[in-house]
A = this chain, B = another copy of it.
Amino acid sequence: MSELIQPRVLKGFRDALPASEIERSLLTETLTRTFRQFGFVPIDTPALEYSEILLRKSDGETEKQVFRFQDNGGRDVALRFDLTVPFARFVAEHKEELYFPFKRYHIAKVWRGEKPQAGRYREFFQCDFDIVGSDSAAVDFEILALMKAALESIGVTKVTIRLSHRGVFNRFLARYNLADKSEDVLRAVDKLSKIGAEEVKKILSESCGEENAERILTYIQGSGTKSEDYKATLNMIRDMAGGEAEDTKRLDDIRTLMEETGIASSFVLDPSITRGLDYYTGVVYETFLDELPSIGSVCSGGRYDNLAGLYMKDKVPGVGSSIGLDRLMAGLEALGQSAAREGFTEAAVFNQDARSMGAYQKLAHELRLAGISAEVFPEAKKMAQQYAWAEKKGITWGILEANGAWTVKNLATRESAEGLDTKALIHHLRRQ
């Protein structure tokens, strides 16, 4: 036998042990049910694509972070680094097969060679949902309503979704001749929650002058940080941008739909939300946990006016959002709301005598038919070992054979019932 290989994963990669994989599975299953309730359908795209497809529009920073190589056929290929670029390619390639408005969700892995640091991995899940083929306020609203419903479905009820509109901001910048400074301004504004208003003002003063820095600060701070301040803030930024236009009307329409459906209180109009240098052209939004805003946005997105422009001439407008699953799971854990558990087994049939294996397996079989997840300890090992296994796995019920009948114990409370036949046992477990 040759030397052993050290079992290890690559730097920045990780295994998911059962507890965390169960948590991720349960979260994505619940999110999936909500997406479907809103009419969204799943798609999938390859993990590996032509580098040309994935990288054409990227800045140098993205390119450096991508896992890119020549395959055995000499093709220049790369692992996808997000789910948006492949979706754009997908829409262009399949537009004749799709129906519009097209609503898709996609929960899958992406890869980036980022410098590993706390909470940053080179392989992680993205959870995207988009509506393409409509430029209406209705679908802007639907994505926002879905964000709220999706987070609620996984128990995240104390959230604030902060939205804004890039169009209003651009009009405001143009009005003060700052359009050519917009990259600098967006970069600075994006730092507001991290470095505070004073520091942002300093940076802005350097590129735009003090008066304009003041103006921008006033704009991005709006008229208040509560949901009720929506209209006041809208009035204010409308004035600062030079009056009513499609963009301000859109923010008004979205608010009306929120009020009519009774979900307005979760949404704040926050002009400091710009999503930095992202490709958004309309509404943009970020979502913060009320009890843990410091971890940053757990669900962000916005409207783009031309998703697949690199791949086809037709313009496909869309609006989408992405849940940061890893960040959200870290947040839930910090709030004591983690859904992590070690297993799904409700009942363990203990093994006191290997000759009774047929009876044990028959019982497990009948429990499963009755909808109770069950397993048999396969070997007649010491009871202490079997109990330890059941406890480690978080199993609720332990079942033992005694005098030709079943005894069932609640492994947490130690309560038990004796002398049950299989039917009575199933009845007992179902009553709990």
In this complex, what residue of B is CB-closest to A372? B37
Q: Are A13 and B48 CB-contacts (below 8 A) given A56-B5, A311-B7, A361-B145?
A: yes
Indicate which residue in B21, B46, B343 contacts A10 across the interface (CB closer than 8 Å): B46
Q: Does A92 contact B (CB under 8 A)?
A: yes
Central interface residue in A50, A97, A344, by most chain B CB within 10 Å: A344
CB 8 Å contact bits of A336-374 with B (1 = contact, 0 = none): 000000111100000100100111111001001000011
CB 8 Å contact bits of A365-393 with B (1 = contact, 0 = none): 10010000111111100000000110011
Q: B38 to A373, Cβ gap below 8 A? A: yes
Indicate which residue in B17, B50, B79 contacts A43 across the interface (CB closer than 8 Å): B17
Q: Does A324 contact B (CB under 8 A)?
A: no
In this complex, what residue of B is CB-closest to A140? B378
Tell me the complex Cα distance, A103–B392, Å.
13
Q: A18 to B46, Cβ gap below 8 A? A: no
Q: Are A18 and B41 CB-contacts (below 8 A) given A138-B376, A261-B365?
A: yes
Interface residues in A210-258 by Cβ distance below 8 A to B read 253, 256-257
Q: A123 to B48, Cβ gap below 8 A? A: yes
Chain B residues within 8 Å of A178, by CB:
none
Q: B375 to A7, Cβ gap below 8 A? A: no
Cβ of A34 to closest chain B Cβ, rounded Å: 9
Q: A46 to B14, Cβ gap below 8 A? A: yes
Central interface residue in A4, A18, A103, A309, by most chain B CB within 10 Å: A18
Q: Does A303 contact B (CB under 8 A)?
A: no
Q: A42 to B67, Cβ gap below 8 A? A: no
Interface residues in A82-107 by Cβ distance below 8 A to B read 89-90, 92-94, 97-101, 103-104
Interface residue tally for chain A (C-beta within 8 Å)? 112
Chain B residues within 8 Å of A312, by CB:
4, 7
Q: Does A198 contact B (CB under 8 A)?
A: no
Q: Does A291 contact B (CB under 8 A)?
A: no
Q: B46 to A362, Cβ gap below 8 A? A: no
Interface residues in A29-46 by Cβ distance below 8 A to B read 29, 32, 36-39, 41-46
Cβ of A239 to closest chain B Cβ, rounded Å: 26
Cβ of A58 to closest chain B Cβ, rounded Å: 13
Q: A15 to B94, Cβ gap below 8 A? A: yes
Cβ of A87 to closest chain B Cβ, rounded Å: 10
Q: Which of A69-77, A160-168, A272-280 is the interface stretch? A: A69-77
Q: Are A25 and B42 CB-contacts (below 8 A) given A138-B378, A378-B136?
A: yes
Cβ of A267 to closest chain B Cβ, rounded Å: 14
Q: Are A70 and B71 CB-contacts (below 8 A) given A21-B43, A44-B21, A311-B7?
A: no
Q: Does A430 contact B (CB under 8 A)?
A: no
Tell me the complex Cα distance, A374–B142, Å.
11
Q: B8 to A50, Cβ gap below 8 A? A: yes
Nearest 9 CB-CB pairs, A to B?
Answer: A39-B375, A260-B358, A69-B69, A16-B44, A138-B378, A36-B344, A7-B93, A18-B41, A13-B46
15 A–B contact pairs at CB < 8 A? A5-B52, A7-B89, A7-B308, A18-B42, A21-B44, A36-B373, A39-B393, A41-B393, A46-B123, A100-B389, A138-B376, A138-B379, A142-B361, A260-B362, A261-B365
User: Hey, which bits of chain A sit against chain B, CB under 8 A?
Assistant: 1, 4-11, 13-18, 21-22, 24-25, 29, 32, 36-39, 41-50, 52-53, 56, 64, 67, 69-73, 75, 77, 79, 89-90, 92-94, 97-101, 103-104, 109, 111, 113, 123, 131, 134, 136-139, 141-142, 145, 149, 253, 256-257, 260-263, 308-313, 342-345, 351, 354, 357-362, 365, 368, 373-379, 388-389, 392-393
